[in-house]
């Protein structure tokens, strides 16, 4: 099957233009950048690095679309029908979108066909359904007045998206933003623009009016120009904490636009010695960190394990990891593909190199591999005996690297380690003692907590975190609608 996908990769059309006002256009910038495929280090596309003039043009198109009401004033049921057609087209183009995503990011084709492309369609469909179910409220004021509370779209929304789940995160943002009548400009990460550009073409084909969804390929400067723009009403951002801070500063220094930030994590899986089934725990811990090559914001990147079962559990996790099929992302059998870029690979290797200096032991992996020459591959890695204050225990590594921290069996010791980072995106507790599991779950400082399981996911539940993991609203679920709407109170004197 690798041959089929490799052949398809040779001939697949690769988007090379920005999408502004409903059509692919040449950017005004004279600068371009290469999107390098991490599978083999080859250039997969050369795209314009959209500059301030392109940002101005896209914002103007989005503003015009919002101002004349061509989308926001359509009956919610009509917006719903368009978004359903959009979701159907995403499904119909599943293989094409999945291949573009794999070429850009190095994710296994088995994942992009089974998870990323269908996940984007499911999300769009869910928000299509939500479009005509957003009700207002009547406030319980006294009899002399009638006050209604309604939701209005914010206006022009900039969605700045990272490279780890380009299509899915784009759908998490454009689904609720479009369902509620906003105009959107997406800035994909420079590593992964292709599938997003194709999504915008499909949206136009589905009947989304011009200007309502624009996509600007570019580098960090493109995102910075959007965050600083005086006519953007909202920035929704997913990425690193450092860049999130810059977005917030730019918003404060410009027009005080609304900002939502989702900034990653260092999520713990706490395992007590009485965990019901150590094999199930080992599977969940291994997949929780190694899926997507560890480049997942809510990855279970820390194992916080009771001493009594630590050796046994680490051994079983290593067994699961050894059984994963690492290889060419274009091979359907591959479970572990490439990291997104040479830069990310070096960053992750840098953390592994730190392990020795910080007193930790490499118990599995730690080395590069090269199933495809020139690609960015790393073995699944386990670092044991990691100190609570080590950088590898507190900073987001964002690669296939599990950090193991051991505790003496007391609940307080477990929680001290588990809550010992600035992040608070996800966390899990494993114990047969349900009362204890509930107590620990209640005290884990995280936006999503799992009890005797990990990484269950559904568009119906909110995604976001506490502390350095971000703020300003949630992606997914009906709560995401809050990110893209303003509440308006209207009084009438009776």
The number of beta carbons lying within 10 Å of the beta carbon of residue 37 is 27
Interface segment toward ligand NDP; rule CB under 6 A; list 143-151, 199-207, 222-230, 454-462: 222-230
By the rule CB under 6 A, 124 interacts with ligand NDP: no
Q: How far apart (Å, rounded) are the C-alpha atoms in residues 115 and 106?
A: 14
By the rule CB under 6 A, 219 interacts with ligand NDP: yes
* Nearest residue to 372 (alpha-carbon basis) of 342, 324, 330: 330
For the stretch 47-50, contacts whose Cβ atoms lie closer than 8 Å and that sit 24 or more positions apart, written own/partner, are: 47/15, 47/16, 47/193, 47/217, 47/218, 48/16, 48/17, 48/18, 48/217, 48/218, 49/190, 49/217, 49/218, 49/219, 49/221, 49/222, 50/18, 50/216, 50/217, 50/218, 50/222
Member of 2, 17, 240, 335 binding ligand NDP (CB under 6 A): 240
**Applying CB under 6 A, what is the total number of residues that bind ligand NDP?**
26
Member of 220, 315, 371, 409 binding ligand NDP (CB under 6 A): 220
Q: What is the DSSP string of 306-346?
A: EHHHHHHHHHHHHHHHHHS-B--TTSTT-SB---S-HHHHH
Residue tagged 């600007």 (tokens):
216
By the rule CB under 6 A, 455 interacts with ligand NDP: no
Per-residue string for binding with ligand NDP, 393-432, x by CB under 6 A?
Answer: ---x-x----------------------------------
Q: Give the largest Cα separation in the chain, rounded.
A: 76
Structure tokens at 405: 């921290």
347 and 295 in contact (C-beta within 8 Å)?
A: no
By the rule CB under 6 A, 443 interacts with ligand NDP: no
Member of 342, 347, 385, 443 binding ligand NDP (CB under 6 A): 347
By the rule CB under 6 A, 379 interacts with ligand NDP: no
CB of 494 to ligand NDP, least distance (A): 48
CB of 244 to ligand NDP, least distance (A): 7
Member of 224, 363, 372, 404 binding ligand NDP (CB under 6 A): 224
Which residues pair with residue 32 across a beta bridge?
48
Decide if 262 is catalytic: yes
Q: Which is nearer to ligand NDP, 238 or 258 (CB)?
A: 238
Q: What is the DSSP string of 397-443?
A: --SSEEEEEEE-S-HHHHHHHHT-SS--SEEEEE-S-HHHHHHHHHH
Decide if 297 is catalytic: yes
Q: Which is nearer to ligand NDP, 35 or 431 (CB)?
A: 35
Catalytic residue among 50, 190, 297, 376: 297
* Nearest residue to 203 (alpha-carbon basis) of 175, 237, 231: 175
Interface segment toward ligand NDP; rule CB under 6 A; list 174-182, 220-228, 270-278, 476-484: 220-228
CB of 45 to ligand NDP, least distance (A): 14
By the rule CB under 6 A, 101 interacts with ligand NDP: no
Residue tagged 């499909």 (tokens):
202
Q: Which is nearer to ligand NDP, 190 or 482 (CB)?
A: 190
By the rule CB under 6 A, 239 interacts with ligand NDP: yes
User: CA-CA-CA-CA torsion for 104, 106, 110, 111, nearest 10 degrees?
Assistant: -80
Q: Which residues are catalytic?
A: 262, 297
Residue ranges in contact with ligand NDP by CB under 6 A: 160-162, 164, 187, 189-190, 219-220, 223-224, 227, 238-240, 243, 246-247, 262-264, 297, 344, 347, 396, 398
């Amino acid at each position: 099957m690798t041959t089929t996908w490799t052949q398809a990769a040779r001939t697949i059309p690769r988007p090379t233009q920005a999408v502004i006002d409903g059509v692919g256009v040449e950017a005004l910038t004279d600068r371009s950048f290469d999107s390098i495929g991490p599978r083999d280090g080859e250039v997969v596309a050369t795209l314009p690095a959209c500059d301030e003039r392109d940002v101005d043009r896209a914002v103007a198109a989005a503003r015009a679309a919002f101002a004349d009401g061509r989308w926001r004033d359509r009956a919610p049921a009509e917006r719903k029908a368009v978004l359903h057609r959009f979701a159907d087209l995403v499904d119909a183009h599943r293989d094409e979108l999945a291949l573009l995503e794999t070429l850009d990011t190095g994710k296994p084709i088995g994942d992009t066909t089974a998870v990323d492309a269908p996940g984007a369609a499911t999300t769009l469909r869910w928000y299509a359904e939500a479009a005509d179910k957003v009700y207002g409220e009547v406030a319980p004021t006294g009899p002399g007045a009638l006050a209604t509370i309604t939701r209005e779209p914010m206006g022009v929304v900039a969605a700045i998206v990272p490279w780890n789940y380009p299509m899915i995160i784009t759908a998490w943002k454009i689904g609720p933003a479009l369902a509620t009548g906003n105009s959107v400009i997406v800035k994909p990460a420079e590593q992964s623009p292709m599938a997003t550009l194709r999504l915008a073409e499909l949206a136009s084909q589905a009947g989304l009016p011009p200007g309502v969804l624009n996509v600007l390929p570019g580098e960090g400067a493109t995102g910075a120009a959007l965050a600083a723009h005086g006519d953007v009403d909202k920035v929704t951002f997913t990425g690193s904490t450092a860049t999130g801070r810059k977005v917030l500063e730019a918003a404060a220094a410009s027009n005080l636009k609304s900002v939502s930030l989702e900034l990653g994590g260092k999520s713990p899986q706490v395992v007590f010695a009485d965990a019901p089934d150590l094999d199930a725990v080992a599977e969940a811990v291994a997949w929780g960190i190694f899926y997507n090559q560890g480049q997942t914001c809510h990855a279970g990147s820390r194992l916080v394990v009771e001493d009594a079962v630590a050796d046994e559990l680490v051994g079983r996790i290593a067994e699961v990891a050894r059984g994963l099929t690492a290889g060419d992302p274009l091979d359907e059998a591959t479970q572990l593909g490439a990291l997104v870029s040479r830069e990310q690979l070096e960053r992750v290797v840098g953390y592994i190199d730190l392990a020795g200096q910080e007193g930790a032991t490499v118990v599995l992996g730690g080395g590069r591999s090269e199933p495809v020459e020139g690609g960015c591959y790393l073995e699944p890695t386990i670092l044991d005996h990691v100190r609570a204050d080590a950088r590898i225990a507190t900073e987001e590594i964002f690669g296939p690297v599990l950090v193991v921290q051991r505790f003496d069996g007391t609940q307080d010791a477990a929680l001290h380690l588990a809550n010992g980072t600035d992040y608070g995106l996800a966390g899990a507790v494993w114990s047969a003692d349900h009362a204890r599991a509930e107590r620990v779950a209640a005290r884990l400082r995280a936006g999503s907590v799992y009890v005797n399981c990990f990484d269950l996911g559904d568009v119906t539940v909110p995604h976001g975190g506490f502390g350095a993991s971000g703020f300003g609203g949630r992606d997914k679920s009906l709560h995401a609608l809050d990110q893209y709407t303003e509440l308006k109170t209207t009084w009438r004197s009776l």
